[in-house]
Amino acid sequence: MTDTVLSSATREVVIGFDRPFVIIGERINPTGRKILAAEMSAGDFSRVEADARAQVEAGAHMLDVNAGIPLADEPAILAKAIQLVQSITDVPLSIDSSIVAALEAGLAVYKGKALVNSVTGEEERLESVLPLIKKYGAAVVAISNDETGISEDPDVRFEVAKRIVHRARDHGIPVSDIVVDPLVMPIGAINRAAVQVMRLLHRLKTELKVNTTCGASNISFGLPRRNGINAAFLTMAIGSGMTSAITNPLHPEVVEAVLGADVMMGHDPDCARWIRKFREPPPTGAAGEAGRGRREGGHRRRPTPAA
Amino acid sequence: MTDTVLSSATREVVIGFDRPFVIIGERINPTGRKILAAEMSAGDFSRVEADARAQVEAGAHMLDVNAGIPLADEPAILAKAIQLVQSITDVPLSIDSSIVAALEAGLAVYKGKALVNSVTGEEERLESVLPLIKKYGAAVVAISNDETGISEDPDVRFEVAKRIVHRARDHGIPVSDIVVDPLVMPIGAINRAAVQVMRLLHRLKTELKVNTTCGASNISFGLPRRNGINAAFLTMAIGSGMTSAITNPLHPEVVEAVLGADVMMGHDPDCARWIRKFREPPPTGAAGEAGRGRREGGHRRRPTPAA
């Protein structure tokens, strides 16, 4: 099945139907985080650095980096944030902006093969972002809305996704370099939001054979105990074929749901990752940590090229 | 879609594709519980009573009652346990035994429409249990194995389930009174156990249009943090069409997973049950509990017949 390969300078992550689910950490994003926005504008990236380290430590396989700060020089800030994050972690990044110039500034400094977040089915966006993806050999998140907005009909969203995939092909970008975002709406407002997404995920997997991602935390907007809703959504969506998500690995419920779903899908051979993460600590004095860290799940470290 | 209606003397529970998931409490079962077995043999049902109350309080919509104690008078003990449980709770019961005489003893004293657990595809079992189901107007759990054992091929298990449904029809039992158990194996031993069950659940829903249940806790046998695995399994299985499970509601993770999955499936209108269960307590002094208990999810109380 379709494999989407992303990389940093030294590490490769593959998003695919037969592989462990890929968690893309969502935290490096100033939207709704006033302090972070002020610090990034002022050139202080200490919180970005802390967020990067914490998310990788918590289980993120990739990190999304967004610098969307009103009136700030977003291309410069995004490029700086990407360089910083790449200097302290080796996970591949998702370069996230609604401004095409910022995406290009990020791509220009990025080491490896990035995931660009995002293109939509809007004509202007398609024709400005897809050439960049081709130029830099990146992969791209394709959001299934267009000039007419976001349809509540999953079949309409499927057609938008299909149109993006076809247009990308016209630009010489293979379907394996497209990761479709089916668009997750808050279930507190739209009770059939998850049912719609599950149907769409199934069609995207079986018909378009394309990998998928989403902003998973949207589903629980406005509800109490959001992590419980996020966990239910991620588990069910993985069962429906979703292969990655932009979400918050600092919530243990989210990471546990993903690891559990990997076990269910048969993507954790012998439940080795689950057992390593959750086994009881050995009695004091026993050398029980010997096996820790032996395996990296489905995420393989790429051999560093000879300098 | 197919509705399986169960009842006690005063309450009805409906298992169905368009309804909230039904949790059948598994605790009243002496298998592996030595103290409970000894007490039940000696006529002490205090623990049965406590288990019944605790499970209903924790969120069970039905209770499974099993009295499988080696060398004991199982029919008499099962009948007594059922009478006791029916005297202290109003949820419908699942009468659980591998001994046909015990099933009949339970059915003879049961008030309402019981779920009988279980029949298999084995010829002798079919022809001894199905006449009882017809005689007492009960519903029955149909386990998808037969004389050849439990196939690892979900399509073979589907054929066994289909055969039971057809044989039941020959006995005058409608498909709505069959609840198929696809058989859940420990995923620590069989890594594709869940994938097999998901495929089978999908076929049972779309082709045979039959309700389903399973002993959900089996999935996590031998693994650490079993509740996390159980939660992942229940969530994904509900997404694949499972409509009930025999499981342990005393684990909050299990109940939370089921409530979250109901939200995902669009079976919790306006997320009302979720919000009621998990909302933050109101500030001291506020009359915030006024709305509590107004709704009973999809499980409706049947009007008590005029005496």
Question: Residue B188 — very low, low, confident or very high, per pLDDT cuts 50/70/90?
Answer: very high
Question: Residue A233 — very low, low, confident or very high, per pLDDT cuts 50/70/90?
Answer: very high
Of B187, B235, B266, the CB nearest to A195: B266
Q: What is the mean pLDDT of chain B?
A: 92
Name the pTM for this structure: 0.91
In this predicted structure, the answer to whether residue B134 has a pLDDT above a threshold of 50 is: yes
Q: Which chain A residues are closer than 8 Å to B239 by Cβ? A: 198, 235-236, 239-240
Of B232, B239, B271, the CB nearest to A187: B271
Report which DSSP code applies to A149: B
Taking only Cα atoms into account, the Rg of chain A, rounded to an integer number of angstroms, comes to: 19
Per-residue pLDDT of A6-24, as tens digits, reads: 999 999 999 999 999 999 9
Q: Measured between alpha carbons, how far is B141 from A124 in angstroms, rounded to an integer?
A: 57
In this predicted structure, the answer to whether residue B103 has a pLDDT above a threshold of 80 is: yes
Per-residue pLDDT of A190-201, as tens digits, reads: 999 999 999 999
pLDDT of residue A305: 42
pLDDT of residue A1: 77
Check CB contact under 8 Å for A271 and B188: yes
Per-residue pLDDT of A122-141, as tens digits, reads: 999 999 999 999 999 999 99
Of A192, A225, A263, the CB nearest to B232: A263
Which residues are within 8 A (CB) of A286 and not within 5 positions of it... i.e. 6 or more apart? none
Per-residue pLDDT of A158-211, as tens digits, reads: 999 999 999 999 999 999 999 999 999 999 999 999 999 999 999 999 999 999
Mean pLDDT of B190-195: 96
Check CB contact under 8 Å for B232 and A260: yes
Token digits for A123? 């004509």
In this predicted structure, the answer to whether residue B26 has a pLDDT above a threshold of 70 is: yes
Q: Which chain A residues are closer than 8 Å to B266 by Cβ? A: 191-192, 194-195
Check CB contact under 8 Å for B194 and A266: yes
Check CB contact under 8 Å for A270 and B191: yes
pLDDT of residue B296: 38
pLDDT of residue B302: 45
In this predicted structure, the answer to whether residue B85 has a pLDDT above a threshold of 70 is: yes
In this predicted structure, the answer to whether residue A218 has a pLDDT above a threshold of 70 is: yes
pLDDT of residue A280: 77
Q: Which chain B residues are closer than 8 Å to A221 by Cβ? A: none
Per-residue pLDDT of A257-300, as tens digits, reads: 999 999 999 999 999 999 999 997 766 654 444 444 333 334 44
Per-residue pLDDT of B234-288, as tens digits, reads: 999 999 999 999 999 999 999 999 999 999 999 999 999 999 999 977 666 544 4
pLDDT of residue B294: 37
pLDDT of residue B192: 95
Q: Measured between alpha carbons, how far is A8 from A92 in angstroms, rounded to an integer?
A: 5
In this predicted structure, the answer to whether residue B297 has a pLDDT above a threshold of 50 is: no
Check CB contact under 8 Å for A263 and B195: no
pLDDT of residue B190: 95
pLDDT of residue A285: 56
pLDDT of residue B291: 40
Interface of A with B (CB under 8 A): 187-188, 191-192, 194-195, 198, 223-225, 228-229, 231-233, 235-236, 238-240, 256-257, 259-261, 263-266, 268-271, 274-275, 278-280
Per-residue pLDDT of A88-122, as tens digits, reads: 999 999 999 999 999 999 999 999 999 999 999 99
pLDDT of residue B50: 98
In this predicted structure, the answer to whether residue B299 has a pLDDT above a threshold of 80 is: no
Q: Measured between alpha carbons, how far is B197 from B214 in angstroms, rounded to an integer?
A: 10
Nearest chain B residue to A191, by CA: B266
Mean pLDDT of B44-53: 98
Mean pLDDT of A49-63: 98
Check CB contact under 8 Å for B274 and A192: no
Q: Which chain A residues are closer than 8 Å to B188 by Cβ? A: 270-271
pLDDT of residue B306: 41
In this predicted structure, the answer to whether residue B34 has a pLDDT above a threshold of 60 is: yes
Strand locations in A114-229, DSSP E?
A: 115-119, 139-143, 178-181, 211-212
Mean pLDDT of B141-162: 93
Check CB contact under 8 Å for B194 and A265: yes
Of A266, A271, A279, the CB nearest to B195: A266
Mean pLDDT of B163-170: 98
Nearest chain A residue to B240, by CA: A239
Question: Residue B301 — very low, low, confident or very high, per pLDDT cuts 50/70/90?
Answer: very low
pLDDT of residue B283: 67
Task: Tell me the count of A-B CB pairs closer than 8 A.
Answer: 120
Measured between alpha carbons, how far is residue B138 from residues B61, B103, B107, B211 in Å?
A: 17, 11, 8, 15
How close B167 gets to chain A, by Cα (Å)?
A: 33
Nearest chain B residue to A277, by CA: B224
Question: Residue B1 — very low, low, confident or very high, per pLDDT cuts 50/70/90?
Answer: confident
Helices and strands (H and E) in chain B: how many: 10, 10
Check CB contact under 8 Å for B236 and A232: no
pLDDT of residue A30: 97
Check CB contact under 8 Å for A191 and B266: yes
Q: Which of B274, B275, B277, B280 to mutate to test the interface with A (most CBs of A within 10 A)?
A: B274
Question: Residue B152 — very low, low, confident or very high, per pLDDT cuts 50/70/90?
Answer: confident
Question: Residue B142 — very low, low, confident or very high, per pLDDT cuts 50/70/90?
Answer: very high
Mean pLDDT of A49-56: 98
Check CB contact under 8 Å for B194 and A263: yes
A260 neighbors A268 (Cβ within 8 angstroms): no
pLDDT of residue B285: 56
Measured between alpha carbons, how far is residue B180 from residues A203, B190, B233 in Å?
A: 27, 21, 17
Measured between alpha carbons, how far is residue B169 from residues A82, A185, A240, B131, B166 in Å?
A: 65, 44, 33, 11, 5
Of B232, B235, B280, the CB nearest to A224: B280
Q: Which chain A residues are closer than 8 Å to B225 by Cβ? A: 256, 274, 278
Report the residue count for chain A: 307
A82 neighbors A105 (Cβ within 8 angstroms): no
Of B191, B260, B271, the CB nearest to A269: B191
Check CB contact under 8 Å for B266 and A223: no
How close A280 gets to chain B, by Cα (Å)?
A: 7
Share of chain B above pLDDT 70, in %: 92
CATH of B3-278, one of 3.40.50.300, 3.20.20.20, 3.40.50.2300, 3.40.109.10: 3.20.20.20
